[in-house]
Structure 1
Amino acid sequence: MSTHLKKLKLYIVSNMYPSSEDAYYGVFVKNFCNSIIGSPQIKIVSTSFIRGRGTSFLSKLNRYFKFYTSILFKSLFFNYDIIYVHNVSHSILPLYPVLLKRLFSKIRIIINPHGEDMVITHKIDGILLSLSLPFIRKADQIVVPSLYYGNLIAKLYNLNPKKIFISPSGGIDLSVFKVLETKRFVNVQEKNIGFISRIDPDKGWDVLLNAIAILVAFDEFKSLKATFVGKGTDVDRFLKLVDILKLSDHVEYLGFKSQIQLPEIINKFDVFVFPTKMRESLGLVGLESMACGVPVIASDQGGMSDYVKDGVNGFTFKCGDHLSLSGVLKNFFNLSTEEVLDMKKNALETAEVFSSNNVKNNMIANLISIKNK
């Protein structure tokens, strides 16, 4: 007689989730959901999401009203084994009544901060976080994308390190991000730099442009090309700076590209540059580049320190310093063929550790463990 196993019932909350107009917005939450769907042990029985960005203050206000109403209703009137909350400071407030419900039911709560979610950069962030901290401390587990981020928030908010579980934002789909057979059907005389991110303040696009302007003044870098992918609030400023620095012959701006289009683009890069000035919790796009056999040059702060190893699979440079970045880029392009091949091999090996399959299996085992505690 076979035993029917009861599936773990999961409710997922996030104020960020992709929409058809903004496919990158909260893509890590979509990747998380996709990694759970199909599991024989876990069922996503309900979700509360804000899909895409609001276009105005009133639009955002309306979205949050519906979002908070959905959370209150679903969390109080339905039963789950685990409530899993992404982006905690903007999602937690309507969940406080669940703490009372937990007195009479065995609901587990897992929170998963991302990016600068628990790093105060604006006054409103500080207010929301201070209101959320009592709830955060009562959570059964805090999932973070990197060891760096876990250590940071544990120290900042005096959190129990034993409650912290590291899971890198869904990991990398190695069936999508890989070395393509068409790789290097490009001008081998060119030096190709890649940048994929939102074109927003503090993402470091200006640092990279200024570094490129220094390099192309030298004859050995006359053939240097840089490809920028992404959209954001600073696109006009970005294009203006390209003109001011006279880089139109060296910079190609592709705008937004879907995730499925990225591998072909990344495969044309010699090196991927991640010049963010923010304390990123992980920076998954750097790992996706490594999965395509492309070394990464990244700012010397944030979650990139979990996987970018100087001289092994890439390099780091002083955050926000275009002179430091130009020097590191020059050093990279002066490496021997053998040194570059070793770096590419090491990048591929690093990406394997962060594969979505490994991350999925670890997360499923973790969720079952939390339920059974």
Structure 2
Amino acid sequence: MKIVLIAPEKLPLPGNGSVEICILGIARELARRHQVTIISRSVPELPALEQIDQIIIRRIPASSVSGYTRSAIRLLRTLHVDIIQVDNRPFSMAAIKAAFPQTPVLLYLHSLTFAQAGPGKMALLKKADCIALNSHSLKRRLSRRFPAVKKLMDVVPLGTDLDRFRPVTSLEERFTVREKFGITDCFAVLYAGRVIPGKGVDVLIRAVALAQKQVPIQLIIAGKGPPRYVRSLRRLTKKLHVNTNFLGQMNHDQIDQLYRSVDCLVCPSQIHEAFGLVNVEAMASGIPVIASDNGGIREIIRSGKNGYLISGYTKPRQFASSLHELATHPELVQSMGENGRETATAQFSWAKTALHLEATYTRLIRP
């Protein structure tokens, strides 16, 4: 098949965001058997045409959503395409489908953000030949919001690179990566993602403050956010005397080392998480995950087996209790980490995601 994946207009590929990571991870697997082209935005430091592994990346100007979409349509007219996938942009998908009515067009939605309720959005979604969703939770939400297009929806869970994201292999490697990120002998807790209020980083800081009354803990925060909010979190860590490393935005090609340097990941989201890619990356890296019991996270974490799901996630106490349990029971960290790796290997690889999409593409091309 000749497959074209169209990234959102704001996202250059390669990139550090979850959508960019997903597109590239899926493309690498599809390119093992098919001809794959990715269309993404142009940026000064990247060429207009590039080959990464077996993938062709075509970068085009993106002054606006509509301008980017028109440029993508012009480029598509020069390509022979069997199927087109548009990620996270119903407007672009509908315009592209109108321009290529005979070509199957799939919309892959990663969250609720670009599918707000309303007749206008419904009209756009109806244009898709298929709507791929990364979790059953997201499908349930969108089915209630847009019942007329439920029949178009297909759940395609995301994955991760199981070779890059792997458990630490020796004490020497563990010492090296911990030293690289400034991690001491304390029980090390990681938050990785956008540092914004809806992600609950403040709840995590308060949880660590409670747990550290009984056991030494070091908190690692990797990600960027609004400077004013990040400053407020820094003030909170000082006020509560929480030993915290703010690493800022990290390139995704280093994040696997960071997972191997810590003892657990905490995902304290206060908003609906359609999937939660960091949870799968952490599990593949052999560390337990403590996460809010909401959205698609429930489809990843098996509470008590590969981590803990926190029902009272708006407050710090349950997070603190789980942190204390792990920090005082290293054998539990080990067994949960091993279980997480097994879960990731069995269920969450880019190869499985690509195979599912491949089957969907085939069905759309040959109805």
Settle same-fold status: TM greater than 0.5: yes
Contact persistence 1:113–1:144 (CA under 8 A): yes
1:211 to 207, 212, 221: 207
Contact persistence 1:16–1:26 (CA under 8 A): no
In the alignment, does 2:92 pair up with 1:91?
A: yes
In the alignment, does 2:118 pair up with 1:116?
A: no
**Structure 1 residues 311 and 176, CA gap change in structure 2 (3 angstroms):** same
Q: How does 1:13-162 map to 2 (within 5 A)?
A: 13-18=7-12, 23-24=16-17, 26-27=19-20, 28-39=22-33, 42-45=34-37, 47-49=39-41, 62-74=63-75, 80-89=81-90, 91-92=92-93, 94-95=95-96, 97-98=98-99, 102=101, 106-118=102-114, 120=116, 130-162=119-151
CA deviation profile, 1:70-111 (whole Å, cap 9, x unmatched): 14434678663322111134534533633xx52xxx321211
SS of aligned partner of 2:105: strand
- Measure the CA separation in 2 of the matches of 1:16 and 1:265: 27
In the alignment, does 2:289 pair up with 1:296?
A: yes
Q: Following TM superposition, by how much is the alpha carbon of 1:287 offset from its aligned partner in structure 2, in angstroms?
A: 0.5
Contact persistence 2:13–2:40 (CA under 8 A): no
CA deviation profile, 1:171-211 (whole Å, cap 9, x unmatched): 11011000122454368952111111111231111111111
**Structure 1 residues 112 and 229, CA gap change in structure 2 (3 angstroms):** same
Contact persistence 1:16–1:50 (CA under 8 A): no
CA RMSD of aligned residues (A): 2.9
- Identity %, equivalent residues: 22
- Measure the CA separation in 2 of the matches of 1:160 and 1:110: 13
Point out the more displaced range, 82-91 or 204-213.
82-91
Contact persistence 2:12–2:41 (CA under 8 A): no
Q: Following TM superposition, by how much is the alpha carbon of 1:260 offset from its aligned partner in structure 2, in angstroms?
A: 2.0
- Measure the CA separation in 1 of the matches of 2:36 and 2:70: 19
TM-score of the pair, normalised by structure 1: 0.80
- Measure the CA separation in 2 of the matches of 1:241 and 1:357: 42
- Measure the CA separation in 2 of the matches of 1:154 and 1:253: 39
SS of aligned partner of 1:267: helix
Point out the more displaced range, 252-261 or 11-20.
11-20
- Measure the CA separation in 2 of the matches of 1:256 and 1:209: 19
**Structure 1 residues 90 and 65, CA gap change in structure 2 (3 angstroms):** closer
Q: Which residue of structure 2 aligns with residue 237 of structure 1? A: 232
The one-letter amino acid paired with 1:172 is T
Q: Which residue of structure 2 aligns with residue 56 of structure 1? A: none
Q: Which residue of structure 2 aligns with residue 176 of structure 1? A: 164
The one-letter amino acid paired with 2:109 is P
Q: How does 1:274-313 map to 2 (within 5 A)?
A: 274-313=267-306
CA deviation profile, 1:227-274 (whole Å, cap 9, x unmatched): 111112132232232223332xx1111112222211221112211100
The one-letter amino acid paired with 1:273 is V
Contact persistence 1:48–1:70 (CA under 8 A): no
Q: Following TM superposition, by how much is the alpha carbon of 1:308 offset from its aligned partner in structure 2, in angstroms?
A: 0.6
